[in-house]
Amino acid sequence: MATLLLILIYIVFIGLGLPDSLFGSAWPAIYPEFNLPVSAANAVTILISSGTVLASFFSARLINKFGTGAVTAVSTVITALSLLGFSFAQSIWWFIPLTIPLGAGAGAIDAALNNYVAVHYNSTQMNFLHCFYGVGVALSPFLMSFALEQNNDWRLGYRTVFYIMIAISIVAILCLPLWNKVKADEKKEDDFTPKTLTFLEMAKMPAVRTAWITFFSSVALEFTCGVWGCTYLVSSEGMSEALAAFFLTFYYIGMTLGRFTSGVISKFLKPVNIIYSGYSFVAVGLTLLVLPVPPIMKGVALLLIGFGNAPTFPNLTYLTPINFGKDISQSIIGTQMAFCNIGILLMPPVFGFMADLISVKVFPYYLIALFAVLVLTTLLYFKLIKKMKNKENCP
Q: What is the pTM of this model?
A: 0.85
Residue type, 362: V
The angle that helices 271-290 and 312-324 make with each other, rounded to 10 degrees, is: 150
pLDDT at 251: 84
pLDDT at 389: 83
pLDDT in tens, the chain (395 residues): 778 899 999 999 999 988 887 887 788 788 888 998 877 877 888 899 899 998 988 888 888 888 889 999 999 999 999 999 999 999 989 999 999 999 999 999 998 998 889 888 888 899 889 888 888 887 887 888 888 887 778 899 999 999 999 999 999 999 999 988 887 666 555 567 788 888 999 999 999 999 999 999 999 999 888 878 877 888 888 877 667 777 777 888 888 899 999 999 988 999 999 999 999 999 999 999 999 898 889 889 999 999 999 999 999 999 999 999 988 998 999 999 999 989 988 898 888 888 888 888 999 999 999 999 999 999 999 999 998 888 776 65
Q: What angle do CA 255, 29, 41 make, to 5 degrees?
A: 65
**Class for the domain spanning 2-183:** mainly alpha
Alpha carbon separation from 237 to 6, 230, 242, 261 (Å, rounded): 44, 10, 13, 30
Domains 2-183 and 199-393 equal at CATH topology level: yes
CATH domain 199-393 topology = Growth Hormone; Chain: A; (1.20.1250)
pLDDT at 190: 58
pLDDT at 228: 83
Q: Which long-range contacts (CB under 8 A, 24 or more apart) does 177-184 make?
A: 178/1, 178/4, 178/5, 178/8, 178/69, 179/5, 179/67, 179/68, 179/69, 179/70, 180/69, 181/1, 182/1, 182/2, 182/5
pLDDT at 188: 54
pLDDT at 247: 77
Give the start-to-end residue ranges of the domains of the chain. 2-183, 199-393
**pLDDT tens across 103-132, in order?**
999 999 998 998 889 888 888 899 889 888
Selection from 106, 104, 114, 126 nearest residue 333 by Cα: 114
pLDDT at 189: 55
pLDDT at 201: 93
Distance between CA atoms of residues 4 and 110, nearest Å: 19
pLDDT at 204: 93
